Amino acid sequence: MTRGRLIGGLVALNVALLVTGHLVASSRATRRADVTIGLVFDVGGKDDRSFNDAAWRGLQWAKRDHGVEVVTIEPSDGADREAALRQLAAKKVDLVLGVGFIFSADLEKLARQFPDVAFAGVDYAPTDPAAVPANLAGLRFREHEGSFLVGAIAGLTTRSQVVGFVGGMKIPLIRKFEAGYEAGVKHVCPTCRVLAAYAGTEPKAFADPMLGQELASAQFDRGADVIYHASGKTGSGVLAAARERRKLAIGVDSDQFHQAPCCVLTSMIKRVDVAVHEIVGDVVAGRFRGGVRELGLAEDGVGFVADGNNAHLLRAEVAARARALARQIIAGEIEVPSQ
């Protein structure tokens, strides 16, 4: 995925720290070959072709740029994620990365137990925003902003005026995707209906493609002709349903066009790869700081895909309208709801 695919063009990130902690800098961090990065994947694993894969791309990017050593662990069912994080911390790797909101409490616990180790969590959700450990960096995104744009694309593309949303685990994080998407649909198509369904209330809801296909098929049966998913590996079932019905789907986190070239209208890109690459770069340079970092449209942390691959599905005028809406959001002219 090239940076040129995202709205507005991606530029180097200058992400403001919303919460700032003390500097955690190993003496080894200035010598690239001596830096080791440990990463534990989320439910769905490295080959989910979505969220985890984006983190993996960022890690490989950092390895190429900085020459760091990389160690990864893929928990079998998520239940042993705390043990995986602890294993890496005990080895005194230079940075321990947890991919997914479900790592949040475990990261806080271990950051306090290993104060000389740097930790980072993708989609980190603090249990107490005022008490984030100083050696823990939270990497967060304004997913609702990117979801607003693909919602507008859905609203401008639908013929039935019925569109769908399939979420993974029913939690506030995934609700951000749904809320932004619905707001984008309604902004351009006030008469459109948005159908919504979730795969469950436990982490395994992100790893159930069969259920994803069932949920999407049910929405297609109810008249939806475009469905957006925010459900990790479960979303592969949503894309399968779109292929089967020759309807349209919207991918998430990574560019998912190649999973269903017939049917992926666009994808809402969440630049987990950029966030991972940036935090590794901070460790290598000896400037790692704890705190919460948040990336949205203004920081090119979210966006949508519009390129030669999906040009036959995503009309040029629709993509142009979505880019214009992005500029309005960045300028503060449109406020996107997160819940």
CATH number of 143-270+301-330: 3.40.50.2300
Q: Per-residue confidence at 226, pLDDT binned at 50, 70, 90? A: very high
Which candidate, 253, 276, 293, places its Cα nearest to that of 65?
Answer: 276
Residues 6+ apart with CB under 8 A from 68: 32, 35, 36, 37, 62, 94, 280, 284
Helices (H), 103-142: 104-113
What percentage of the chain has pLDDT greater than the value 70?
87
Query: CATH: 3.60.20.10, 3.40.50.970, 3.40.50.2300, 3.30.360.10. Which one for 3-142+271-295?
Result: 3.40.50.2300
Q: Which two tokens stand for residue 33?
A: 């070959």
Question: Where residue 53 falls among pLDDT bands split at 50, 70, 90?
Answer: confident
d(CA 50, CA 272): 10
pLDDT of residue 77: 58
Helix (H) or strand (E) holding 299: none
| CA 310/CA 190 separation, integer angstroms | 26
pLDDT band, residue 46 (cuts 50/70/90): confident
The residues spanned by each domain of the chain are 3-142+271-295, 143-270+301-330
**How many angstroms separate the Cα of 225 from the Cα of each of 144, 148, 156, 166, 175?**
22, 18, 12, 13, 21
CA distances from 66 to 28, 29, 32, 255 (A): 13, 11, 6, 25
Does position 182 have pLDDT exceeding 80, yes or no?
yes
- pLDDT tier, 54 (very low <50, low <70, confident <90, very high otherwise): confident
Structure-token pair, residue 280: 């590794």
